[in-house]
Structure 1
Amino acid sequence: MEELVSIVVPVYNMGNSIEICVNSLLKQDYANIEILLVDDGSKDNSLEKCNKLKDKDNRIRVYHTENRGSGPARNTGIENAKGQYIYFPDADDQLEENAISMLVAGMQKGKYDLVVFGYKSLDKNGNTVLLKQYPEMEKKGEDVRQDYSNYVASTRKYGIQGAPWNKFFDLSLIKMHSIEYPPLRRHQDEGFISRYMCFCNNIHFIQPILYIHNLNDLKKEWDKYPVDYIDAVMGLYNTKKETILTWNKKDKKTKTIIEHEYICNVIKSLEMSYSPKMHMKSIDRIPWIRKQVEKAEVLDIDIPNTLGRYQRIVLMLIRKNHIKMALIIMRFKIEVEKRGALKLLRR
């Protein structure tokens, strides 16, 4: 008999896309699935759409929660899931029709705890802008943990960290060790994967591209960053210190990568002072930056030599208390990004 696969989809204001996503799940050639749609306090017609989909197929269940973010929504899915395996797609993306059958086969081939697979990213016109494919490989979890620098970034040849939608998990392992998504407004996916990797014994990278990821435009991407983004950045950094950085304390490469990422994310959080959501006056920016930098303790970290020029300059200016100049550079960078996005939209 086929093992039951639980598919958990967090839904927030996805009324325009949830049907496309769910239809791609219902078309799977692997029938023994349950689809858990978790409406995260949507303000549009997402909940109504979810309930209509539920009425069409008895494999769909709908849960409604107050808005707490995709991490807690996925935790609701984990709590209610009944499968042997679990999968977490985004509500505005799609799966190839043979995806679940290939993932189950990939998991069962060698009693693996994790299957990592390829994906493609599409722009708003349906053009492929990124194709990520993994050469077939099997690895012991302990070997991966001992040299995680080769896996810590999603951009690496065998990147594991990043989004959960190109990974297939063992639900029994999650429940056995009470693994949850941390209650962060951003980067909760990476926190979950870091925790899961602590208990992962066998990993299978498979070659097929099974997931279609639809990229958001720059405005939507900016809107995803909460005003307290610094808290998510610090939460992720602390989670990685408690997990990844305990696996092999001699692994300096991984430590450098994580510190590099942390500094970049802190600077991204400082750019939030220019977000329309902040309603911040110019006079308030300098003291706000000082407070954020002190809170993040970023000045205590040695500057990695891998850091880009922009981050290096901003960090150097802040360390020398030239915050006004750092703000000018951040503002310039934001404007350049906006203009670049406008050019792309006009194509």
Structure 2
Amino acid sequence: MNDLVSIIIPVFNGESYIDRLFSSLACQTYRPLEVIIIDDGSTDSSLKKLYLKVKDLKSTDFKVVILNQENKGIAASRNLGIEISSGKYLMFHDQDDWLDDNCVEVLVKAMVSDDCDMVISGYRSIDLKGKCRAECSLDESLSWSKYRITAPWGRIFSKETIEKKNIYFYDTKISEDLYFNILYICSVKKIKVISYIGYNWYYNKTSESHLNWSKADRNRNPIKMLNELQKRIKSGNWNNEKEKTYFFAKYLIWYLLFTTRGSQKEVLKRNIHKSFNWLDQYYPDYKLRNFKDINYPSGEPFGIRACITFVILLKKLGLIEAALQFYRRI
């Protein structure tokens, strides 16, 4: 008998994706499955469609649990899903995405065969027309592969570990998944990265997560979350300071770049100041990065490495604010 896997899915105004979502889950080759759907205060017909779909289910090894709550956000929804889940293993799934038929099976087999605490796989990015924009296949031999993707999907977790280590999604408007993933990775010993791709990420510019990244305000500033994360990973098992320095520099630089055009001039100025002050406090060696380091870390796409290096150079030259203010206007 296989161990139960719980898949946690927050839904908010996702009526147009529910048919595809159920079709993808029902086709999974792995059983038993427990699908936990948290309707987060939808104002469309999502909840009604969900109940209709459940009515049609006849399988005893494919259980669907639906909960309805007032709108609390994706972090609260996922945390509730964790709390009520029954599975030995947990996976997370977004409402507009879908899985290859063998996705759960592949991840569970990898988890069990090597007695792992976590298995991480890649993903496809699918555009609005259904075409593949890009594939992210992870190199199993590289340490950095664990940190390339900060989303919680495309991987499998141990519920026992989550409960024992008190791991949860941070209640924030931005990067609640980064907090969860990094805290989990730093709390376990055996992580397996596989090159397999079975998760299809629907690239939707109107999604809540995309909109959260496209603008900045006090509720979307990640510094509070990063401070809490930094306290908790101090005693964790991520001992490679060079990796950590690059990771957090990359994260804050991408935060600034993605929110620049949606920020007022003074908000952008404040966020630049807070972001680099945070790096100066915790990871000051980011300033040592130069063009000699452009090949680090191995496994990171060259374009991203070059961008991070260039922005750090602008910061060292005192040009970062002027450059981002210019970028904000174009």
The normalised TM-score by structure 1 is: 0.75
Whole-Å Cα distance in 1 between the matches of residues 257 and 315 of structure 2? Answer: 8
Which digits, 9 at most, give the CA deviation of each residue in 1:36-95, with x for residues without a partner? Answer: 001112222222222222222371111122222211111010000001001001111111
2:169 is the counterpart of 1:181 = yes
Say which of 219, 242, 247 aligns to 1:257: 247
Does the CA contact (< 8 Å) of 1:152 and 1:254 recur in 2? no
Whole-Å Cα distance in 2 between the matches of residues 126 and 80 of structure 1? Answer: 34
Does the CA contact (< 8 Å) of 2:252 and 2:275 recur in 1? no
Moved more, 249-258 or 48-57: 249-258
State the shift of 1:288 in Å.
Answer: 3.8
> Structure 2 vs 1, CA of residues 292 and 262 (structure 1 numbering), >3 Å: closer, same or farther?
closer
Whole-Å Cα distance in 2 between the matches of residues 250 and 201 of structure 1? Answer: 14
Aligned partner of 2:296 in structure 1 is none
Whole-Å Cα distance in 2 between the matches of residues 84 and 55 of structure 1? Answer: 26
2:231 is the counterpart of 1:242 = yes
> Structure 2 vs 1, CA of residues 72 and 316 (structure 1 numbering), >3 Å: closer, same or farther?
farther
Does the CA contact (< 8 Å) of 1:123 and 1:215 recur in 2? yes
SS at match of 1:28: coil
Does the CA contact (< 8 Å) of 2:122 and 2:197 recur in 1? yes
Alignment of 1:111-260 (within 5 A): 111-136=115-140, 150-151=144-145, 153-154=147-148, 161-217=149-205, 222-225=210-213, 227-228=216-217, 231-244=220-233, 247=237, 251-260=241-250
SS at match of 1:107: helix
Does the CA contact (< 8 Å) of 2:98 and 2:200 recur in 1? yes
Does the CA contact (< 8 Å) of 1:233 and 1:266 recur in 2? no
Say which of 95, 99, 104 aligns to 2:99: 95
> Structure 2 vs 1, CA of residues 80 and 97 (structure 1 numbering), >3 Å: closer, same or farther?
same
SS at match of 1:39: strand
Does the CA contact (< 8 Å) of 2:217 and 2:267 recur in 1? no
Moved more, 105-114 or 52-61: 52-61
Q: Which blocks of at least 5 consecutive residues in structure 1 are unaligned?
A: 138-143, 155-160, 274-284, 333-347
Does the CA contact (< 8 Å) of 2:204 and 2:210 recur in 1? no
The normalised TM-score by structure 2 is: 0.79
2:325 is the counterpart of 1:327 = yes
SS at match of 1:199: coil
Whole-Å Cα distance in 2 between the matches of residues 67 and 84 of structure 1? Answer: 28
> Structure 2 vs 1, CA of residues 75 and 313 (structure 1 numbering), >3 Å: closer, same or farther?
same
Q: Paired residues, what number?
A: 302
Alignment of 1:50-69 (within 5 A): 50-57=50-57, 59-69=63-73
Give the letter aligned to residue 184 of structure 2.
Y
SS at match of 1:38: strand
Moved more, 111-120 or 238-247: 238-247
Whole-Å Cα distance in 2 between the matches of residues 292 and 194 of structure 1? Answer: 23
Give the letter aligned to residue 222 of structure 2.
V
Aligned partner of 2:295 in structure 1 is none
Say which of 108, 114, 117 aligns to 1:110: 114
Does the CA contact (< 8 Å) of 2:11 and 2:40 recur in 1? yes
Whole-Å Cα distance in 2 between the matches of residues 55 and 118 of structure 1? Answer: 33
State the shift of 1:164 in Å.
Answer: 1.2
Which digits, 9 at most, give the CA deviation of each residue in 1:182-229, with x for residues without a partner? Answer: 111121111101111122121222333211122113787652336536
Whole-Å Cα distance in 1 between the matches of residues 245 and 266 of structure 2? Answer: 30
SS at match of 1:117: strand
Report sequence identity in percent: 24
State the shift of 1:126 in Å.
Answer: 1.9
SS at match of 1:182: coil
Aligned partner of 1:282 in structure 2 is none
Alignment of 1:33-52 (within 5 A): 33-52=33-52
Whole-Å Cα distance in 1 between the matches of residues 52 and 277 of structure 2? Answer: 48
> Structure 2 vs 1, CA of residues 299 and 77 (structure 1 numbering), >3 Å: closer, same or farther?
closer
Which digits, 9 at most, give the CA deviation of each residue in 1:287-316, with x for residues without a partner? Answer: 444444455564873655463546765896
SS at match of 1:17: helix
Give the letter aligned to residue 327 of structure 2.
I
Does the CA contact (< 8 Å) of 2:35 and 2:65 recur in 1? yes
Whole-Å Cα distance in 2 between the matches of residues 300 and 265 of structure 1? Answer: 13
Q: Which blocks of at least 5 consecutive residues in structure 2 are unaligned?
A: 291-304
SS at match of 2:199: strand
